[in-house]
Amino acid sequence: MYCLDHLNFCHLILFRISCFEIVNALLLRQSQNSLTWPKGPGFSGANKCISPRYPKGSIAIFGCETRTIQQKHTNHLNTSYDMKISDEDPLLILASKSPRRRYLLEQAGLKFSVIPSSIDETRVPLSSPETYVRILSEAKADDISKKYPEKWVIGADTIVLKNGDILGKPGSRDEARTMLKQLSGQTHQVLTGYAICCKAKNRMFSETVKTDVLFKNLTHEEIEWYVHTKEPFDKAGSYAIQGLGTFLVKSINGSYTNVVGLPVCEVIEFLIKEGVIVIAKARKTSSR
């Protein structure tokens, strides 16, 4: 009997995302003959429900529809698994305008709407970095959930820490150079607070996920080249691990998608636990 437990299922999804990111990064670097802004799937388009198409046999889960994958077994039986939402048909909402978070959920196969929160982040009280990003993610999710109480809303916030100092988004080339020099050859932390809220069910879950990231030793030429790509300027810590900045990172300890902007494994595990996503064995058919 073939069983797909929640943890292994999430690992399969993250493996798929990681492979896609590596290939995408290599293609970008190979074709980078001039200093231009990198573009990729999932980084453009108006706010709308997203339902990416995958080839037959791919592993995916979906928030608003049912699809089937086939798994062959040594006993010559094909078992079908329907990955579908519960009967209550909850719709997911991403309360963030981040193209990176949207991209991650899209690659995981989730169908969702993008409705960014409009809260004033300066009004969120400062506290420890771990607590601050979690409270901020709760505020974002709560803001949108008040308007759509029947829906499941995902809020998130990400910061970069080096020796306890928060590295935000650089406002100039000089700031980007300074941050990259700080991170060169050193280990820093990426913290993402995420919250998932449904007002109708009186449910709010949140936590902070941490990933350690080790940079390679950067030369002056590498820093200058990367700064001139303009990629650092809307990224906390002045780099994007999923973009051209992939060459900066020597190793990570923890969740890769957390560094991009959302810990996908943890998000999906919670949605499965709450019954928002259902993995159900549908039927068995003989193979001749």
At 224, the pLDDT band (50, 70, 90 cuts) reads very high
At 278, the pLDDT band (50, 70, 90 cuts) reads confident
Q: What is the pLDDT of residue 229?
A: 95
Residue 60, CA distances (Å) to 13, 35, 50, 56, 196 in order: 7, 35, 14, 10, 20
In 127-248, DSSP assigns E strands to 152-162, 165-167, 187-198, 203-215
* Residue 157 among the catalytic residues: yes
Q: What is the pLDDT of residue 73?
A: 40
Q: Across residues 139-163, what is the average pLDDT?
A: 96
Give the whole-angstrom CA distance, residue 16 versus residue 264.
12
90-145 confidence digits (pLDDT tens): 489 999 999 999 999 999 989 999 999 999 888 888 889 999 999 999 999 999 99
Does the pLDDT value for residue 27 go beyond 50? Answer: no
Q: Which of 5, 87, 143, 157 is catalytic?
A: 157
At 19, the pLDDT band (50, 70, 90 cuts) reads low
Predicted TM-score (pTM) of this structure? 0.69
Instruction: Name the phi and psi angles at 259, rounded to 5.
Output: -70, -35
The correct answer on CATH 3.90.950.10 for the domain covering 6-286 is yes
